[in-house]
Chains A and B, each alone.
Chain A
Amino acid sequence: MKFGVIVFPGSNCDHDAFYAAGNNLGEKAEYIWHDSATLGDVDAVILPGGFSYGDYLRCGAIAKFSRVMNAVRNFARDGGLVLGVCNGFQILVEAGLLPGALIRNRGLKFICREVALRTETADSPFTCAGAKGEILRMPIAHGEGCYIADPRTLDELEAEDRVAFRYVNNPNGSLRDIAGILSKERNVMGMMPHPERATEALMGSSDGLVVLKSMLQAAVRA
């Protein structure tokens, strides 16, 4: 399987996603420059964390106009797997590929800490290698990670089993403790915690591998 890691100006978790997929999962990975019109022959796309375009205007608001995002939209429309982590989640939300918005943390401060996540559904290409109810430990590192949406959208997400992860102890004020959500077609996922940082015991946790392994399983099946 080949993962494509998008590099926006200001992405800074691109190396980490590349390393997690390439070394710790042991699959192929390649970088895709933000100016690229196509995604090449990748099987899945990762929008990594960081501060694309300096987070100017609003996190993710400028990145959505990158040329590569047209390709990402088309890829998603055709059923391709798209994972957005942290700033990647913010970009997916700004690009309209996922509903809701991410605003400043409740405490108005950047928070870097390991958190516990509850897997809310195993019925997705990002969680199928795990189990519903399973607790995963992985870090968060964000200043704008408070997930909000109107009540109808939140109800819909829940009714359609599209909440992928919830925080066990909500660190940032996210509504209904939401840490990660799926698109309607379930092939796009955004999450604020960093699974790529938790892919080897030496870094404190390998629980994040579940997400990458799920993507691998789903891609092989497809």
Chain B
Amino acid sequence: MSAAAITPEIIAQHQLTPGEYQKIVSILGREPNYTELGIFSVMWSEHCSYKSSRVHLKKLPTRGKLVVQGPGENAGIIDIGGGYVIAFKIESHNHPSFIEPFQGAATGVGGILRDIFTMGARPIAVLDSLRFGRLDDPQTGARNRRILSGVVAGIAHYGNCFGVPTVGGECIFDPCYDGNNLVNVFALGICRKEDVFYAKAAGIGNPVIYVGARTGRDGIHGASMASAEFTEEAKQKRPNVQVGDPFMEKLLLEACLEAMQTGAIVGIQDMGAAGLTCSTCEMGSRGEVGIEIELDRVPQRATGMTPYEIMLSESQERMLLVADKGREEEVFRVFRKWGLEAVEIGVVTGDGKLRVRHHGEVVAEIPNRELADEAPLYDRPHTRPLKPAGETPALPAASTAQDSLPALLKSLDLCSKRWIWEQYDYQVRTNTVAGPERADAAILRIKETGSSIAMALDGNQRYCFLDPREGAKLAVAECCRNLATVGALPVAATNCLNFGNPERPEIMAQLVEAIEGMSDACRFFDTPITGGNVSLYNETLGEGVHPTPVLGIVGLMKTAAPVTIPFKNAGRSVILLGGTGSASPAEMGGTQYANVLLGGLWGVPPALDMEREKRVQDAIREIVAEGLAESAHDLSDGGFAVALAECSFGPAEIGAQVDLDSDLAPDALCFHEGPSRIVISSANAAAVAAIALKHGVEAPVVGVTIEKEIEIRQRGERLGGWEVSALRAAFERSLESYVQSTGAE
């Protein structure tokens, strides 16, 4: 195979353009052979090289006083004090989990976990942002239900067995994901500050050691698959999806962390996308050295594998490390203890080249830096972002809240995701102070430092479709607000940018504007982006997903009993920090009210005033720190009425009687999604008001908590009244009934 002549057809099959091929020829000073072509094609794929997005990603803020490591490594790292750092990142596994939901999602979890522990950090939390097509669609519903079930089972399988708690996330359903579901996995780990490892080779003559699972023929060209649209032949790509073994990964974790303690390891990188190719050339490039390997020594689980296959395999649970010469045995001893293979497959050289031998003969020789870092960069043309064409309809003048609230609570996006998160072990390692749906953010205590961290994931593809720039800002603002609501100070972020085909100027424009909006907001909220992932070509047969930037933000806080969502006691003041807000009919177009009740998407996203948002966040943080909030929940999808209902779904089913003073149309008042608002219950409304006043934030007392019922009035006029238990039943049972609804595939 490797002797095959390189024809234009072969170049095209490798998704390389003629221009890219010319660049390869000029780097090598000759024509590449087949193996070298394969190596270039994966390293220069969109997935590995970020060739369409890199010029814009440079706009993102990446520095801050707590940032120890920004983008460019396997994960970002921030200092949390007390001698410890946390490593975290979000990654997508969208394409594989559409083709093979269970293994695609499982290996998505496996991949991001390796990114964390390759840096020396023990993973202690996972969150997922999932997006699927609608489960009740007559055409695609059965397939979407199968994908949802498979993805959730895959995440559970891998995370539960590995022993990392899955503590939160989000799950959204929209027809735009019918042909391209999204699986974004965030992982976070902890490490002593001086124990951080980097994926850098160093020390000429040092041995290059392969550890973990054997190399098979699975996942060849996975990275390239993730860099193209799906066509009718997508199902034939199934062999491109890898198969995960969480038990192997658990052993690899323990063995790697233990081996790192020997002091004999110089650098280490996991073999993820583009496998052995990526790990060798990136480690060499970062260390400005060469790496020479002999493929005969690579542990293989299939016979007769070609150099091309070995170099491009994406078999899971493998790591590459460079050890100090003479101390190999210390490393081998640890891996033997854990029953894992560790084999010296090569050596660090001084010539800056990736040299691959097979049966002693050189089968590839490529300069590391050019391969890893000199991928072509494209400033692709971008025009105006693709936007929906919906006209602003006339909205009802009379209140529909009585029926609308239950309808919203049982809608796919707003209903409880308990059916999903109960399949995840969200408590293992006993650090989970607030797990799924308990508070606005997941909270983990850090045993090592005595402090806690909070994490949230947010994105809103409806807002972003209406306006990618403002939508991205709103996602940053909401994510920060979620952290503030539990009392945490947001300090750093990671992002996953899920978009369609960047070769379409109107899609590229979505990406550019979203990055710019995110950049502005992250700068404003002082949450630098320390790493992340770009997933493009989320298109099937020309239909792309709505622009879906997902933010993961981490905050720091004191360890304390968490401020959770539900009201705790009757007779408490219900305070709407940030006030009732306002919304024009155009601003209702992106809401869940428009989505669920009117089936529409129009206008603009809710207006965000970042200065005001920051004041609200400062106020809630202080209110929580002073112990004044018995409960707190931010207003987001579904607006005030939905938030109020969610606050009543605690074990005691404490509801509320509220009366809102506003000129808005009643439905807008109940369901608009204007940001910068938080509903609090407190026994000390005066103290809450004083703090709000200090920050220049409205904090009207809108009502009082009562037993078992919810009632909403507007200037005395009743808009609706409900029994908590009935609303709760709709909210909690809905997803399960959708999943089990008519007709298995």
**Which positions in A face B, CB cutoff 8 Å?**
9-10, 12-13, 15-16, 19-20, 49-51, 53-56, 109-113, 139, 141, 143, 194, 196-197, 199, 201-203
Interface pair B425/A112, CB less than 8 Å apart: yes
By a CB distance below 8 angstroms, the chain A residues around B445 are 202
In the A-B complex, list the 6 residue pairs whose CB atoms are closest, starting with the nearest. A12-B163, A54-B247, A51-B161, A141-B425, A16-B430, A110-B423
Interface pair A203/B561, CB less than 8 Å apart: no
Interface pair A19/B430, CB less than 8 Å apart: yes
By a CB distance below 8 angstroms, the chain B residues around A111 are 422-423
B432 interface neighbour in A12, A199, A203, Cβ under 8 Å: A203
Interface pair B246/A196, CB less than 8 Å apart: no
Complex Cα spacing A16 to B425, Å:
14
Identify which of residues 230-260 in chain B touch chain A, using a CB-to-CB cut-off of 8 Å.
245-248, 250-251
Complex Cα spacing A194 to B430, Å:
11
B424 interface neighbour in A15, A19, A112, Cβ under 8 Å: A112
Interface pair A12/B162, CB less than 8 Å apart: yes
Once A111-B423, A112-B423, A113-B422 are accepted as A-B contacts, the answer to whether A9 and B428 lie under 8 Å apart by CB is: no
By a CB distance below 8 angstroms, the chain A residues around B339 are 9
Identify which of residues 158-217 in chain B touch chain A, using a CB-to-CB cut-off of 8 Å.
160-163
Complex Cα spacing A141 to B447, Å:
22
CB of B679 closer than 8 Å to a CB of A: no
Interface pair A139/B161, CB less than 8 Å apart: no
Q: How far is the CB of A36 from chain B (nearest CB, A)?
A: 12
Q: How far is the CB of B581 from chain A (nearest CB, A)?
A: 34
Most chain A CB within 10 A, of B422, B425, B426, B429, is at: B425
Complex Cα spacing A143 to B338, Å:
25
Interface pair A197/B430, CB less than 8 Å apart: yes
By a CB distance below 8 angstroms, the chain B residues around A49 are 428
Q: How far is the CB of B563 from chain A (nearest CB, A)?
A: 13
By a CB distance below 8 angstroms, the chain B residues around A197 are 427, 430
Q: How far is the CB of A67 from chain B (nearest CB, A)?
A: 13
Once A12-B250, A51-B246, A51-B250 are accepted as A-B contacts, the answer to whether A203 and B425 lie under 8 Å apart by CB is: no
Complex Cα spacing A47 to B248, Å:
21
Complex Cα spacing A48 to B430, Å:
13
Once A10-B247, A19-B447 are accepted as A-B contacts, the answer to whether A110 and B156 lie under 8 Å apart by CB is: yes
Interface pair A12/B428, CB less than 8 Å apart: yes
Complex Cα spacing A51 to B164, Å:
12
Interface pair B338/A141, CB less than 8 Å apart: no
Complex Cα spacing A9 to B432, Å:
24
Q: How far is the CB of B435 from chain A (nearest CB, A)?
A: 9
**Which positions in B face A, CB cutoff 8 Å?**
153, 156, 160-163, 245-248, 250-251, 338-339, 421-430, 432-433, 445, 447, 559, 561
Complex Cα spacing A141 to B428, Å:
9
A56 interface neighbour in B163, B247, B426, Cβ under 8 Å: B247
Q: Which residue of B lies closest to A201 (CB)?
A: B561
Q: How far is the CB of A90 from chain B (nearest CB, A)?
A: 14
Complex Cα spacing A13 to B424, Å:
15
Interface pair B247/A51, CB less than 8 Å apart: yes
Q: Which residue of B lies closest to A109 (CB)?
A: B423
Interface pair A202/B250, CB less than 8 Å apart: no
Interface pair A9/B447, CB less than 8 Å apart: no
Complex Cα spacing A111 to B152, Å:
12
Most chain B CB within 10 A, of A49, A55, A110, A197, is at: A110
A9-B338, A203-B430 are known; give 17 further A-B pairs, CB within 8 A.
Answer: A10-B161, A10-B251, A15-B429, A20-B430, A51-B163, A51-B247, A112-B422, A112-B423, A112-B424, A112-B425, A113-B422, A141-B427, A196-B430, A201-B561, A202-B445, A202-B559, A203-B433
Complex Cα spacing A19 to B427, Å:
14
Q: How far is the CB of A26 from chain B (nearest CB, A)?
A: 15
Complex Cα spacing A12 to B113, Å:
15
Interface pair A13/B422, CB less than 8 Å apart: no
Interface pair B245/A54, CB less than 8 Å apart: yes
* 21 CB-based A-B contacts, threshold 8 Å: A9-B339, A10-B247, A13-B163, A16-B429, A49-B428, A50-B163, A51-B161, A53-B247, A54-B245, A54-B246, A109-B422, A112-B422, A112-B424, A139-B427, A143-B160, A194-B427, A197-B430, A201-B561, A203-B430, A203-B432, A203-B433
Interface pair B161/A54, CB less than 8 Å apart: yes
By a CB distance below 8 angstroms, the chain A residues around B561 are 201-202
Q: How far is the CB of A143 from chain B (nearest CB, A)?
A: 8
Complex Cα spacing A19 to B246, Å:
24
B425 interface neighbour in A53, A56, A110, A199, Cβ under 8 Å: A110
Once A110-B423, A112-B422 are accepted as A-B contacts, the answer to whether A55 and B161 lie under 8 Å apart by CB is: yes
Q: How far is the CB of A199 from chain B (nearest CB, A)?
A: 8
By a CB distance below 8 angstroms, the chain A residues around B160 are 51, 110, 141, 143
Q: How far is the CB of A66 from chain B (nearest CB, A)?
A: 12
Q: Which residue of B lies closest to A111 (CB)?
A: B422
Complex Cα spacing A111 to B160, Å:
11
Q: How far is the CB of B641 from chain A (nearest CB, A)?
A: 28
By a CB distance below 8 angstroms, the chain A residues around B423 are 109-112
Q: Which residue of A lies closest to B445 (CB)?
A: A202
Complex Cα spacing A15 to B248, Å:
19
Complex Cα spacing A196 to B430, Å:
9
Q: How far is the CB of A106 from chain B (nearest CB, A)?
A: 14
Q: How far is the CB of A61 from chain B (nearest CB, A)?
A: 14
Q: Which residue of A lies closest to B247 (CB)?
A: A54
Q: How far is the CB of A17 from chain B (nearest CB, A)?
A: 10
Q: How far is the CB of B21 from chain A (nearest CB, A)?
A: 44
By a CB distance below 8 angstroms, the chain A residues around B427 are 112, 139, 141, 194, 197, 203
Complex Cα spacing A13 to B428, Å:
7
Complex Cα spacing A13 to B422, Å:
18
By a CB distance below 8 angstroms, the chain A residues around B338 are 9
Complex Cα spacing A170 to B85, Å:
42
Most chain A CB within 10 A, of B422, B427, B559, is at: B427
Once A12-B162, A113-B422, A141-B160 are accepted as A-B contacts, the answer to whether A202 and B433 lie under 8 Å apart by CB is: yes
Complex Cα spacing A49 to B445, Å:
21
Q: How far is the CB of A12 from chain B (nearest CB, A)?
A: 3
Q: How far is the CB of A163 from chain B (nearest CB, A)?
A: 25
Complex Cα spacing A129 to B251, Å:
37
By a CB distance below 8 angstroms, the chain A residues around B251 are 9-10
By a CB distance below 8 angstroms, the chain A residues around B428 are 12-13, 16, 49, 141
Q: How far is the CB of A14 from chain B (nearest CB, A)?
A: 9
Q: Which residue of A lies closest to B434 (CB)?
A: A204
Complex Cα spacing A201 to B560, Å:
10
By a CB distance below 8 angstroms, the chain B residues around A194 are 427
Q: How far is the CB of A209 from chain B (nearest CB, A)?
A: 13
Once A9-B338, A10-B250, A54-B247 are accepted as A-B contacts, the answer to whether A112 and B163 lie under 8 Å apart by CB is: no
Q: How far is the CB of A92 from chain B (nearest CB, A)?
A: 20
By a CB distance below 8 angstroms, the chain A residues around B430 are 15-16, 19-20, 196-197, 199, 203
Q: Which residue of A lies closest to B431 (CB)?
A: A203
Q: How far is the CB of A187 from chain B (nearest CB, A)?
A: 26
Most chain B CB within 10 A, of A55, A109, A111, A201, is at: A109
By a CB distance below 8 angstroms, the chain B residues around A113 are 422
By a CB distance below 8 angstroms, the chain B residues around A203 are 427, 430, 432-433
Most chain B CB within 10 A, of A109, A112, A194, is at: A112
By a CB distance below 8 angstroms, the chain A residues around B245 are 54
Q: How far is the CB of B259 from chain A (nearest CB, A)?
A: 16
By a CB distance below 8 angstroms, the chain B residues around A9 are 247, 250-251, 338-339
Q: How far is the CB of B590 from chain A (nearest CB, A)?
A: 34
Q: Which residue of A lies closest to B433 (CB)?
A: A202
Q: Which residue of A lies closest to B161 (CB)?
A: A51
Q: Which residue of A lies closest to B153 (CB)?
A: A109
Once A141-B160, A202-B445 are accepted as A-B contacts, the answer to whether A112 and B426 lie under 8 Å apart by CB is: yes
Q: Which residue of A lies closest to B245 (CB)?
A: A54
Complex Cα spacing A102 to B428, Å:
21
Q: How far is the CB of B253 from chain A (nearest CB, A)?
A: 10
By a CB distance below 8 angstroms, the chain B residues around A55 are 161, 247
